[in-house]
Amino acid sequence: MNNFISTSLKQVSADMRSKMAKIESANFDNKESVLDELIKEDDIVQNEVLVKFGEESAWLDGIGGWELPMWD
């Protein structure tokens, strides 16, 4: 089972890496529109990574959002 999980995680990572490579290979003027295109796609990038872990990453704002209610 561990092997299956490892393999799947590596596949997810490779998929993310190839999507991010599209941004990295674009010139600076086009990077944001490439990112927007990725976000429009109904996939891993939109659903889980960029929006939720980018936009809502409140720690970057130095304000709440990760108040750890389950921990205290």
Partner 1 sequence: MKYNSIIDYSEAFLKLFENQIKEEIKSTEKFNEFKNISKELHELGVGFTQFTNVKISETITEVINEYGVNDKILLNEVLLHVNSHKYLKSILRYLIFLLAWIKLKNNDELYKKGDLLLKTSIIGTIAFRIKDLIYDEQKALNLGILTEVFAFEYEKRLFDIYGHSENVYSLYYQTQKKFWKAEFKEKHKMMQKKFCYTTPKESGVKAMLLFTPVILTLNQNSESSLISEYESMFYGYTSAMQILDDIEDFNDDITNNHYSLPAKLLGKAIIQKAEKDTYFKILIDNKDVMRKLYVISIDLLNDSSKKAIKLDDSIFQFIIEFLRAKIHYVFLKRFKIK
- Min dist CB 24 to partner 1, Å, is 6
Binding site for partner 1 (CB under 8 A): 1-2, 4-17, 20, 23-24, 28-29, 31-32, 35, 43-45, 47-57, 59-62, 64-72
Contact 23, 38 (CB under 8 A): yes
Q: How far is the CB of 40 from partner 1 (least distance, A)?
A: 13
Place of tokens 């409140």: 58
At closest approach, how far in Å is the CB of 68 from partner 1? 6
